[in-house]
Amino acid sequence: MPATRIETWLERTPLRVLDAQVTQHGSSKPLRLRIEVKPKGDKPLAIYAKWKAVPPAGDDANNTPRREIAAYRLQKMLASENEYVVPPVVLRCLPPDAPIEGEPFPRTRCLLGALAYWLTNVTELSDIDRERLKHDPAYRRNVALLNIFTVLVAQRDSVGQNFLVSTDSRQPRVFSVDNTMTFGRFKYNPISLFTSKWLDVRVPTFPRAYVERLRSLRREDFDALAVVSELELKDGMLEPVERSSPPFDRDSGFRWRGNRVQFGLTQTEIDEIEDRRKTLLELVDRGEVRVEPQFDNSSSFEK
């Protein structure tokens, strides 16, 4: 199913929470929701989603929704929709009568959280299958894209079920489903020494299409990540609105101005993405990572 359609459902389509269960994984105690979405002109549809309440300060030690959404949006600059390695994730304000425990977000009467599509038909990607990497071009391409992504976002968390692979061997999609420890989060935490294996390049080759895409990106392209979500307060509820440019504050990732609130990356965090892009290309130019021939990729890229 197209990711953009799911993204619209999660962010803007009327929905109802049918059930909420605490997940088995995650120190921030995310919930697995069964929700019913009601697309205009279509029958209601029930899907699963992960819910993680936004902390009152916008960020806390292991819950930074702005980074989760920035990671989802950054991948759009790298790959076509049918190759995404991060499931759709948005901010959603649910009414206070939703069957979810929690306090209303400051200044509102609603429950604000990061709502992400819940993947099915997947299993944990505990590590790269080196034999499959040699003999399965589709697997090699998907893992390479995942690795380029994890380096660009500076993924520092390889613990638990944060990386998944599809169970359909014919379409070996791989995914990063928890992107809290990214963009400099816990950069100087000693625990990252033991949990950050995806912080470095772990594959021997990159597909040419992704290398060309990396070369085409410029520092100013990443400025779009300064505001990854913007909401406006109306009658106590936060509703998504068109993202402003420039951001209210370039040095903070969480900003209020009047009745509007923004989530995004700081100037420093964005500068560091450009540094990592250049590092990836330097590895290619020095021959430390080989470039594979062009593969068929008919879908257009998004920014």
pLDDT tens, 113-145? 999 999 999 999 989 999 999 999 999 999 999
Report if residue 147 sits inside a domain.
Answer: yes
Report if residue 302 sits inside a domain.
Answer: no
Report if residue 303 sits inside a domain.
Answer: no
Report if residue 300 sits inside a domain.
Answer: no
Report if residue 70 sits inside a domain.
Answer: yes
pLDDT reading at 91 higher than 80: yes
Stretch 146-163: mean pLDDT: 89
- Expressed as residue numbers, the domain containing 156 is 3-292
pLDDT reading at 299 higher than 50: no
Measure the CA–CA gap between 153 and 199, rounded to whole angstroms: 8
CB 23 within 8 A of CB 82: no
pLDDT reading at 29 higher than 80: no
Closest CA to 84 of 21, 12, 189, 4: 4
Number of compact structural domains in the chain: 1
Q: Which helix (H) or strand (E) holds 9?
A: helix 3-11
Report if residue 100 sits inside a domain.
Answer: yes
Measure the CA–CA gap between 218 and 221, rounded to whole angstroms: 5
Amino acid at the residue 195: T
Confidence of residue 161 (pLDDT cuts 50, 70, 90): confident
Measure the CA–CA gap between 231 and 243, rounded to whole angstroms: 8
Q: Which residue has the higher pLDDT, 280 or 158?
A: 280
pLDDT reading at 7 higher than 70: yes
What b/e readout covers 254-274, taking b as 16+ CB neighbours within 10 angstroms?
bbeeeeebbbbbbeebbebbb
Q: Token pair for residue 174?
A: 């791989």
* Number of Cα atoms under 13 Å in the Cβ half of residue 87: 22
Confidence of residue 24 (pLDDT cuts 50, 70, 90): low
Measure the CA–CA gap between 248 and 262, rounded to whole angstroms: 8
pLDDT reading at 297 higher than 50: no
CB 261 within 8 A of CB 276: no
Per-residue DSSP letter, 60: B
Report if residue 15 sits inside a domain.
Answer: yes
Mapping DSSP to helix (H, G, I), strand (E, B) and coil, where does residue 107 land?
coil
Report if residue 95 sits inside a domain.
Answer: yes
What b/e readout covers 220-242, taking b as 16+ CB neighbours within 10 angstroms?
ebbbbbbbbbbbebeeebbeeee
Q: Token pair for residue 242?
A: 């068109």
Model pLDDT for residues 168-224, shown as the tens digit of each residue? 988 899 999 999 999 986 664 555 555 568 999 999 999 999 999 999 999 999 999
Confidence of residue 303 (pLDDT cuts 50, 70, 90): very low
In Å, how far from its chain's centre is CA 19?
24
Measure the CA–CA gap between 131 and 247, rounded to whole angstroms: 46
CB 275 within 8 A of CB 266: no
Stretch 22-47: mean pLDDT: 85
Confidence of residue 160 (pLDDT cuts 50, 70, 90): low
Measure the CA–CA gap between 276 and 159, rounded to whole angstroms: 22
**28-37, 47-56, 289-298, range with greatest mean pLDDT:** 47-56
Mapping DSSP to helix (H, G, I), strand (E, B) and coil, where does residue 62 land?
coil
Measure the CA–CA gap between 95 and 193, rounded to whole angstroms: 41
| Cis ω before 207 (30° cut-off from 0) | no
Q: What integer pLDDT is reported at residue 47 of this predicted model?
A: 96
